[in-house]
Amino acid sequence: MKIRTCFYAVLACQLALVASHGQSGPASTTPASDIPHLQRQGAVTRLIVDGRPYLALAGELNNDSATSLEYVRRLWPKLVEAKINTVLAGVSWNQIERQEGKFDFSVLDGVIQGARSHNLRLVLLWFASWKNSLSSYPPDWVKKDFDRFPRARTKAGRTVELLTPLSDANRDADASAFAALMRHVKEVDGREHTVIMIQVENEVGMDGDSRDHSAAADAAYAGPVPGELMDYLQQHKETLIPEFRKAWEAAGFKTTGTWEEVFGPGAATEGIFMAWHYARYLDRVAAAGKAEYALPMFVNAALYGVGRTEFPPSGGRPWDLVMDVWKAGAPRIDILAPDAYGNFTEFCAKYSRPGNPLFIPESLNGAVGAARVLYAFGRNDAIGFSAMGAVERSNAPDTDLIGSYDLIEQLAPLISEHQGNGTMSAVLLGPDDPPQKVPVGNYTLTVSFVKPRVAPLTQPTPIPPNSFAAGIFIAAGPDEYFVAGLGINITFAPNTPGLPLAGLATVEEGSFVDGRWVPGRLLAGDSTDEGQSIGISWPPGSWVPVYRQRSSPDAIQRVTLYRYR
């Protein structure tokens, strides 16, 4: 063990040495536009890395995988094999600041070097004050000094192992460690841009009660709603999240008063109160980090069950319902990101808002993830999708997810070109969902879930639970489409004036190689149901009989249409 630590320490020094050579020159004057950043264009916000739109095809490591170089080293080749281009990796406050004010970035340097040498980008997850609500990542000197670094309390007076967001001492200790981290990342990576985004904390939110009942919190809750929040709400009154606006309206749209006077009594208001204080805290932490190195920063949210109650108590979590409070309180947080495990399409819609591009730090892998990826990029102009525990939670390579990541990688230039202008869309269909009509460009596509035919005297193939078909459709020209996906059937109908009927002119199967279309088979006859529709098979190895599985390595079809009467 001792020998290994020395080895990595030496490596880290060398790295720092190399980087500092690189940095002391022009890099420190690197304009913000050169470092990874978000770029808003019309209704779309893109992530720009090295001057080009970047789609993150990501996987999140298990929480502590990146705290040991020996452990993470064997993951890099698996991540590359999984067609992942971006790795979400945790950075533990306790690991980098064991002693107050003394920082050790040797493991982080090794992680950055490991990713870089495998041509992978990194999103660092700052596990600090909070992780899944609770405080397991602060250093021992914080944990042990609970007078200096106070905890939250429940109404019943129970102390929760959760740093209260209403303590300046907690906030400032976190912010200064985060500033040190960002200063160091700039030093060792300010030119190479292996690190492209930062998640600040992880799934924050009150635990054990709907708000903190510490003395500081009780005093603040009994006090007036801050003017900054009320100013923001009044300025954005017409564009507020409907459920939030309704709650404020129900209490009379007051512009001054206590939290309960302005938003009404109850747990939902306690959640609004907590959202404000978490937002203020994280804004300070993000500001300290951005002052050193202004990479895009986001928070991730543990979500709620859609459709249960209209305005469930959030405990301050960065839910879409309190997005306005977060945007008012944390302008330095660029994105609120859903950890979308359930209700996928609903949360994609709820989090894709003007000024809040969709980034999914955590979702499912396997066949479900493979379908969801196409939907997130094609329907909601996502900047990234990440499967939680991507290569660590399945022994065998995840061929389903690999297939979809490969598709998006091939289509990436087209996707970036067609985001936000009505010439791209996608569907995600369960076996019982009716066919969906999707307008894309000059035609409306009718897309249905493909079920295996039932041959005479045979039983229908049982459809496994959680089976999803999906497709992404790009109108590359007035009568030209690129379509791809899994298990769908597509028909086309014109949606512009002119000849009423649409026919399939030429249909090619093929792939994009370095952005160039390379056609394979020319499809007609059985392949297009005698010219009636486009069929996109299920991936090889999926639940359907072989004849319904894709036989060709080419997974994209280029479809040209003509109109007639």
Q: Which residues bind ligand DGJ (CB under 6 A)?
A: 63, 132, 202-203, 339, 362, 388
Which of 343, 413, 337 has the alpha carbon at shortest distance from 375? 343
Nearer to ligand DGJ, 125 or 523 (CB): 125
Nearer to ligand DGJ, 196 or 303 (CB): 303
The Cβ-side half-sphere exposure at 278, using a 13 Å CA radius, reads: 36
Can you give the three-state secondary structure of 412-447, one letter per residue? HHHHHHHCCCCCEEEEEECCCCCCEEEEECCEEEEE
Nearer to ligand DGJ, 166 or 302 (CB): 302
CB of 530 to ligand DGJ, least distance (A): 48
Nearest-CB residue for ligand DGJ: 203
Nearer to ligand DGJ, 203 or 320 (CB): 203
Q: Roughly how many angstroms between the first and final C-alpha of the chain, as a whole number? A: 77
Nearer to ligand DGJ, 300 or 557 (CB): 300
Nearer to ligand DGJ, 107 or 364 (CB): 364
Nearer to ligand DGJ, 339 or 400 (CB): 339
In the chain, the amino acid numbered 147 is: D
3-state DSSP assignment of residue 204: coil
Sheet of strand 44-49, all strands in order from the earlier edge strand to the far edge: 37-41, 44-49, 52-53
CB of 433 to ligand DGJ, least distance (A): 27
Nearer to ligand DGJ, 63 or 167 (CB): 63
- Go through 43-70 and write b for each residue having 16 or more CB atoms within 10 A of its CB, e for each that does not: ebbbbbbeeebbbbbbbbbbbebbbebe
Classify residue 341 as exposed, middle or buried by CB count within 10 Å of its CB (0-12, 13-18, 19+): middle
How many other C-beta atoms can be found within 10 angstroms of the C-beta atom of residue 101?
Answer: 9
CB of 361 to ligand DGJ, least distance (A): 8
Q: Write down the residue that tokens 């010219």 correspond to.
A: 531
CB of 82 to ligand DGJ, least distance (A): 18
Cα–Cα distances in Å, from 258 out to 265, 274, 277, 483, 556? 10, 14, 15, 54, 57
Q: Write down the residue that tokens 């564009």 correspond to.
A: 239
Give the C-alpha separation, 358 to 45, whole Å.
9
In the chain, the amino acid numbered 438 is: V
How many other C-beta atoms can be found within 10 angstroms of the C-beta atom of residue 458?
Answer: 10
Cα–Cα distances in Å, from 280 out to 12, 165, 330, 360, 370? 35, 9, 6, 23, 36
CB of 553 to ligand DGJ, least distance (A): 34
CB of 339 to ligand DGJ, least distance (A): 6
Counting every residue written for the chain, the total comes to 565
CB of 90 to ligand DGJ, least distance (A): 8
Nearer to ligand DGJ, 199 or 557 (CB): 199
CB of 135 to ligand DGJ, least distance (A): 14
Nearest-Å Rg of the Cα atoms of the chain is 25
CB of 123 to ligand DGJ, least distance (A): 13
Nearer to ligand DGJ, 62 or 560 (CB): 62
Residue ranges in 198-335 assigned as alpha helix (H): 215-222, 227-235, 242-250, 259-263, 267-290, 323-329
Nearer to ligand DGJ, 189 or 339 (CB): 339
CB of 160 to ligand DGJ, least distance (A): 18
The two tokens of residue 467 are 């089976």
CB of 306 to ligand DGJ, least distance (A): 18
CB of 493 to ligand DGJ, least distance (A): 42
Tell me how many degrees the CA angle 395-398-399 measures, rounded to the nearest 5: 135
3-state DSSP assignment of residue 523: strand
Nearer to ligand DGJ, 167 or 202 (CB): 202
